[in-house]
Amino acid sequence: MMKKIAIIGIADVNASVFGFNVLCDELIKNMTCNFVFYLYHSFDVFNKNIPDGKRYFSAGNKTVTNIKLPKTGKLIFAFIHALFNADVLFVNGTRAALFFPIIRFLSRKKIVLYVSHSDVNYRSRTNNMFNFSLNEKIAFFYCHSIITNADSIKEYIAAKYNLNAEIIDQGVNHVERIESTFSDHKKFPFLKYMYAFSYFESGNHKQVEVVLNAFKQTKHKYLVIIGDWSSTDYGISIKNKYAGYANIFMLHTIHDQRQLDLIRSNAILYIHSSVSAENSMSMLESMRLGLPVLAIESVDNKYLTEGQASYFKNLRDVNYNLSHMNIERLRKNAGVMGDIILKRFDWSNLIPKYEKVFNRLFLMENNKSTPCPTRSSQITFFSVKDNDLKPRLSFLKTILNFFI
């Protein structure tokens, strides 16, 4: 029997963008079981990016149906459609949490919640503490399974709500090493140097200045750093402050995947100045491209690199690492980072973990009650019998038919 999964919370399934969309793209391409996927797109995205031939299609032993949401009531429509058509709802983020208890009350559908750092509220970005959120609490308590890609989120959920989240890392197979050409050297003259590469993330002001100050003081070593400098007053001021140094190349955000891979592939070191897993994709991609890593010391960075990268806390640490940098040390660091990527961040190793979660929930389908398996002390929120469902679903089906 085909297993039906509704994916709620995507902008578009396209491997050229990061995060949940890349995950969904990989699930559709690589899951081995017989699945039916329902993908919900906003009105404008659907008309722009989903051609007629892709609205319904097969991908191996899977079928995919792309569904256009109305301009208003998008989430309501998505959840009503999923309620009548899917067995499992795979939901990105806590924004739609208020629908979870309704789904639990009306059906025995299973809810898998995917949580990233953008879905929780920090009290402080330096100590990984979070603000209380009612929306967050409802989402965690009324889903059946929680998946995250960050150890700090797993620890937070366990400490705050006594709930168990499963960590499944993010794959980075979409990047590839690029050898530079003559035209590349004309476009990016710094390719002739042995340079370190870094990425400026908004919110990491203090850390990025530590890195820039280190290269300001070490003028015979080169740094290429990419960021959206014009989006904030701080970004503008920091670029004005450091762009004049001959060994520091400050590039505006690059969206072209080849150019990004080219610049990273030809670097000798990646320097990561973000303390949270929210901004870890650039580091993981650089590891995939064979770069050694120097990262600011944090729980998430040590988890992602298994404590085997080089780390810094302050300017003195950065200066020390740069002054002791040599080919042998860089090569050893790069080899270890590459092994971590192949072991943990390759989609061929990650997709089976998602299949295991979904299949476990499908096996629960015949249960008469719907306990939340993420909670250490099992709590049954609702006991739903088939006879109870008929009047509830009949009313909702009338509403759905009215809209479509």
pLDDT, residue 203, reads: 60
pLDDT tens-digit readout, 218-270: 889 999 999 989 888 888 999 999 999 999 999 998 988 899 999 999 999 99
Find the angle CA(69)-CA(70)-CA(74) to the nearest 5 degrees. Answer: 65
H helix or E strand, kind and range, residue 225:
strand 222-227
> Can you tell me the distance from the alpha carbon of 56 to that of 52, in angstroms, rounded to the nearest whole number?
8
Mean pLDDT, the chain, integer: 82
Classify domain 3-171+348-403 at the CATH superfamily level.
Answer: Glycogen Phosphorylase B; (3.40.50.2000)
Instruction: Give the gyration radius of the chain's Cα atoms.
Output: 23
| 3-class state of residue 244 by DSSP | coil
Nearest in space to 363 (alpha carbons), one of 101, 63, 1, 23 = 1
Nearest in space to 213 (alpha carbons), one of 298, 277, 205 = 205
pLDDT, residue 377, reads: 34
Classify domain 182-345 at the CATH superfamily level.
Answer: Glycogen Phosphorylase B; (3.40.50.2000)
DSSP string, 294-320: EEE--HHHHHHHTT-SEEESSHHHHHH
H helix or E strand, kind and range, residue 394:
helix 386-403
Largest Cα span, the chain: 76
User: How big is the chain, counted in residues?
Assistant: 404
H helix or E strand, kind and range, residue 103:
helix 99-106
pLDDT, residue 341, reads: 95
Report the range of poorest mean pLDDT among 56-70, 336-350, 390-404.
390-404
Nearest in space to 81 (alpha carbons), one of 346, 403, 384, 385 = 403
Beta strands in 60-214 (DSSP E): 62-68, 88-92, 110-115, 122-124, 129-130, 145-148, 166-167, 195-200
The separation between the first and the last C-alpha atoms of the chain, rounded to the nearest angstrom, is 27
pLDDT tens-digit readout, 116-146: 876 765 444 434 444 447 888 899 999 999 9
| 3-class state of residue 1 by DSSP | coil
pLDDT, residue 376, reads: 40
Structural contact between residues 232 and 205, judged by C-beta atoms closer than 8 angstroms: no
CA 325 to chain centre: 31
More confident residue, 379 or 162: 162
DSSP string, 149-171: S-HHHHHHHHHHH-BPPEE-PPP
Structural contact between residues 140 and 113, judged by C-beta atoms closer than 8 angstroms: yes
- CATH 3.40.50.2000 in the chain, residues? 3-171+348-403, 182-345
Neighbours of 83 (CB within 10 A): 21
